[in-house]
Structure 1
Amino acid sequence: MNGARVADATGNWVDTRAPSWSRPYLRLSRFDRPIGSWLLLMPCWWSAALAAGIARDASQLLLVIVLFFIGAFVMRGAGCTWNDISDRDLDAQVERTRSRPIPAGQVSVPQAAAFLVAQALIGLVVLLQFNRFAIMTGIASLVIVAVYPFMKRITWWPQVVLGLAFSWGALMGFAVILGRIDATALLLYAGSIAWVIGYDTIYAHQDAEDDALIGVKSTARLFGARTHQALVVFYGLAVVLIGVALALAGARWPAWIGLAAFAGHLVWQIRRLEIGDPALCLRLFKSNRDAGLLLFAGLMVDAVMRAAPI
């Protein structure tokens, strides 16, 4: 049983190199599918770079980037473990998710709960490296993470709640580096939420048929054939809101080039999307890591330039 693979994650290091006993736990954390961790990380890195540019001080930026990397991967793992505990009955009814460790019988619920606590403790150690305001800001995000798995049962907009959770890092960089959350941080957060709604709608089209059968709601089902138009709205909002944040932050040309590259990537996704092709939906969803890295690269160059002595 430990050797069984999750349906939408094959040929990765977990399946081929990790010890057999560890594989179900690594799958609970989605280390066989790290794209979610990268997407959680992007707003953290954006905000850290933008805040460092505002402060004109990049001396701590590399350390913050490393800590955010560790924290994003660990806390995404904890979030996925909680999601799998909460969704174990639904997962058993969906073709893509019925091979996940809990519905497949590879890990019991108490074992998963213990693993969840272990991951949360590692995340707490990372969080304690920051100032008190940042610690409290990070802890506040747990409320959203806790309620997210249940949103698909009660609203057509669970992607909004996911956006609130996955974009929290847009606030954390400001909390860590500047010790505050201001209008610039909130605009970056709002732009990231719009981005998450867009890319997770693409992702949710993989499960639209199964979701309809079992009564799970999503923006993919809500938008249906109008998904392309909806993506124009949400991806457009993402670019505009992030652009306003850059303007308020006094960002220089590298950041704007990064935003233009980010916007171009989102346009490419919309033009390429075929909602009836699950494999393509997954590829386009995963490509958002690259979109996020393009923006981050521009913000990093901008931060370094603004921090350099004149």
Structure 2
Amino acid sequence: MNAPAALRRLPLYLDLIRWNRPAGWLLLLWPTLGALWLAAGGFPGWHLLAVFTLGTILMRSAGCCVNDVADREFDRHVKRTAQRPVTSGRMRAREALAVGAALALAAFALALTTNAAVVRWSFGALAITLAYPYAKRFVAMPQAVLGVAFGFGIPMAYAATQGQVPPLAWALMAGNLCWVLAYDTEYAMVDRDDDLKIGIKTSAITLGQRDVAAIMVFYLLYLAIWGAALALAAPPAVTALTLAAALAQVAWHYTLIRARERGGCFRAFSANHWLGLTLFAGLAVGLAVRPAS
């Protein structure tokens, strides 16, 4: 495809990668940056900040391309997704995959500017990104697979700053998995009726009437793990204020999802990036103001 033709299709490419819905990549960005700050003991430097921010955006965008190709037959039966570029026929699957490959290569080029440990981890991140769209065909709670995919930035952040992945990184990844299970179950609740008709497996379907209670448990586990990390890194006042703000948001989410209405569940999901920002801000501020040891 020549340059003018590609420029004419740019709006379609932006639609493909959900450019107008940044909440998706923000959900990946905040825990990644939180791990980066913890691993570095504070501001990690502009190079790593740029690499992990741009890499997160690129890999999330590449994941959207793969997901839309994998789900093109399912998406046409769901009102919310029926007009996506591949499903609607405005873009061929081959073209969408080419866009995704270009984005993934750009992310890999960024990884090459760090160290060998990050490069090795990047292959695992790519593999789980490719596997996730197909998990919903076989796994009762594919949100768990998504949680692993969305948490890969955490060990990579430690690998970039320390050259190794300590136990704390795995704990943070487990906590992030709980967060993904919470917000992506909210997302799955929006499409539950459609997913039941077309045979897709989701946590909302698997959990049934226990969905709201499970989401609250997932949120609390997430806050317990990341709150413990925060308490180790930040002064008590910062930890208390951060967790109070986070718990207030979780309580608000409960009011949005308890009736299981589509609008409320989607609003709760869409607001989750503010919860991630709250935890990151607490970590960044806490590390900046803590007394020197």
**TM-score of the pair, normalised by structure 2:** 0.91
Deviation at 1:207, TM superposition (A): 0.6
Instruction: Name the CA distance, whole Å, in 2 between partners of 1:166 and 1:136.
Output: 17
Which residue of structure 2 aligns with residue 280 of structure 1?
264
Question: Does residue 1:252 correspond to 2:240, yes or no?
Answer: no
**Is the 8 Å Cα contact of residues 79 and 145 (structure 1) preserved in structure 2?**
yes
Q: Which moved more, 1:202-211 or 1:116-125?
A: 116-125
Counterpart-to-counterpart distance in 2, 1:204 and 1:213: 14
Note the C-alpha offset of 1:229. 0.9
In structure 1, which of residues 3, 8, 21 is the aligned counterpart of residue 9 of structure 2?
Answer: 21
Q: What letter corresponds to residue 44 of structure 1 in structure 2? A: T
- Native 8 Å contact 1:49 1:61 kept in 2: no
Matched AA of 1:89: E
Residues 41 and 250 of structure 1, relative CA distance in 2, 3 Å threshold: closer
Alpha-carbon separation, structure 2, partners of 1:214 and 1:153:
11
Q: How does 1:88-237 map to 2 (within 5 A)?
A: 88-237=72-221
Q: CA deviation at 1:170?
A: 2.0
- Structure 1 stretch 259-268 or stretch 131-140: which is displaced more? 259-268
SS class of match (2:89): coil
Contact 1:251–1:302 (Cα < 8 Å) also in 2: yes
Q: What is the TM-score when the length of structure 1 is the normalising length?
A: 0.86
Query: Cα deviation per residue 1:116-162 (whole Å; 9 max; x = unaligned)?
Result: 11111111122112111122122211221111111111122100000
Residue 269 (structure 1) aligned with residue 253 (structure 2): yes
- Give 3-state SS (helix, strand or coil) of 1:30's partner: coil
In structure 2, list runs of 5 or more residues that go unmatched: 1-6
Which one of 65, 84, 104 corresponds to residue 68 of structure 2?
A: 84
- Shift of residue 275 of structure 1? 4.9
- Identity among equivalent positions (%) equals 36
Divergent runs of 4+, >4 A: none
Give distance in 2, aligned partners of 1:282 and 1:20.
32
Shift of 1:20: 5.4
- Output the amino acid matched with 2:235: R
Q: Are the structure 2 counterparts of residues 63 and 141 from structure 1 closer, same or farther at C-alpha, using a change threshold of 3 Å?
A: same
Q: Letter of the 1:273 partner, please give it.
A: I
Q: C-alpha separation between the residues in 1 aligned to 2:9 and 2:69?
A: 19
1:22 aligned partner, one-letter code: L
Uncovered stretches (5+) of structure 1, i.e. residues with no partner: 1-18
- Aligned residues between the structures: 286
